Amino acid sequence: MTYKFDPTVLREYDIRGIIGETLGPDDARAIGRGFATLMRRAGGSRIAVGYDGRVSSPILEHALIEGINASGCDVVAIGMSATPMLYYAEASAEDVDGGIQITGSHNPANYNGFKMVFQGRPFFGEDILTIGRMAAEGDWDDGTGTVESRPVLDDYIDCILLGLEGIDTNVLDGLRIGWDAGNGAAGPALEALAARLPGEHHLLFTDVDGNFPNHHPDPTVEANLEDLRALVAEKNLHFGVAFDGDGDRIGAIDGEGRVIWGDQLLMIYAEDLLARMPGATVIADVKASRALFDHVSAHGGKPLMWKTGHSLIKSKMKETGSPLAGEMSGHVFFADTYYGYDDALYAGIRLIAASARLGKSVTELRSAMPPMVNTPEMRFQVDESRKFAAIEEVKDRLSKTDAVVDGTDGVRVTNADGWWLLRASNTQDVLVARAESETQEGLDRLMGQIDEQLTLSGLERGENAGH
């Protein structure tokens, strides 16, 4: 028996598609068969499975488990859960060898997908293409397997609360915090967490609803933080925290209603961590502000710029032994006293902890950051066949000039005005651009340089801009 996936669903970091069009139960079954076959061949036998709050998730879960069992692996079913709970089930249990979370993350309601972890490492890129090849060839082992239901919520909450160990409870008792689960899968875990936290907590949209009736669950888009901003203002809260659809990305608002972007959160986390782990390597993706890299250096750390993508960052952390990493998109990874995966609930706990240990409110920490003038992440359509070629052309032209170019992931050019970035998205047929300066005039000049390079490659920056 063989199976062919729609070519658009096997992506760099995960598998993702539109329900009823490019993704359905047959795909889930084939993924289960391929993943379980690889697991058995690697000496493993038990796979944890969780799913998010999307309407289509239970059907996909049923088919995925069938596929895993049919290729001879046992399943530990953790039920409806945030993605970090699946990562926790895989990392904390000695009898679990891998895990698959069914989730559409922050995509629209008609999308769904799969995030995978294999024997403690991210499963992405070539691994995902292998699943496609195995299906096309029918290269699957046959067998039978069992299904065990194992709730992890209570143990998971116990674990993330350890992030507040050793902090004066008097300080914590005075905190007033707003939280927005966005009707995503993190809602029940957030309710359980808030019930056990000291201080005063105001929760929004913790009912899991795969139609996302209040706002889209993507905290990197400022419009999606309006409800949280209003709550912080109305209740006079110290700060607010928001999650994406599956709880692995964090967004935040300070007490004055200012957004604290992913790289700015990392500045706070790094300052706190480096006080305890001087000289540690802190990783951030190429879209992050220069202010972050400078901040890490100023506090005695080693800043490392790396490629965008949660799987790529996790792999680089393992390679370098870095205890902290993050992305502009709100994925933050703690490996100092935690497991090194991206967990927005834990990141919320660590924001409380950092503020307490540094003796400054989140608003004070945000106010201390240098005022940079920057663009949001701008995305514009480029034909799939041109996106990587265009970046190579830009690199080639710049190599003949005295421009200071970092080619880690696309092209990041630094000059007297600041820096600009142009890179190809791994997951969509778009180019991504971003620029940052200390002045509006500087930013305008940087944008002019981006436009010039695009024009030379026969492209233009369309109006499809935004995070």
HEC sequence for the chain: CCCCCCCCCECCCCEEEEECCCECHHHHHHHHHHHHHHHHHCCCCEEEEEECCCCCHHHHHHHHHHHHHHCCCEEEEEEECCHHHHHHHHHHCCCCCEEEEECCCCCCCCEEEEEEEECCEECCCHHHHHHHHHHHHCCCCCCCCCEEECCCHHHHHHHHHHHHCCCCHHHHHCCEEEEECCCCCCHHHHHHHHHHCCCEEEEECCCCCCCCCCCCCCCCCHHHHHHHHHHHHHHCCCEEEEECCCCCCEEEEECCCCEECHHHHHHHHHHHHHHHCCCCEEEEECCCCHHHHHHHHHCCCEEEEECCCHHHHHHHHHHHCCCEEECCCCCEEECCCCCCCECHHHHHHHHHHHHHHHCCCHHHHHHCCCCCEECCCEEEECCHHHHHHHHHHHHHHHHCCCCEEECCCCEEEEECCEEEEEEECCCCCEEEEEEEECCHHHHHHHHHHHHHHHHHCCCCCCCCECC
| Residue 243: closest CA among 205, 209, 210, 287 | 205
d(CA 111, CA 210) in angstroms, rounded, equals 10
For residues 111 and 10, the answer to whether their CB atoms sit within 8 Å is: no
Instruction: Respond yes or no: is residue 105 known to be catalytic.
Output: yes
Name residues whose C-beta falls within 8 Å of residue 378's C-beta, 6 or more positions apart in sequence: 432, 433, 434, 461, 465, 466
**Catalytic residue selected from 56, 71, 81, 105:** 105
For residues 242 and 250, the answer to whether their CB atoms sit within 8 Å is: yes
Phi, psi for residue 117 in degrees, rounded to 5: -135, 135
d(CA 179, CA 247) in angstroms, rounded, equals 12
Name residues whose C-beta falls within 8 Å of residue 287's C-beta, 6 or more positions apart in sequence: 263, 308, 327, 328, 377, 421, 432, 434
For residues 180 and 227, the answer to whether their CB atoms sit within 8 Å is: yes
Residues recognised as catalytic? 105
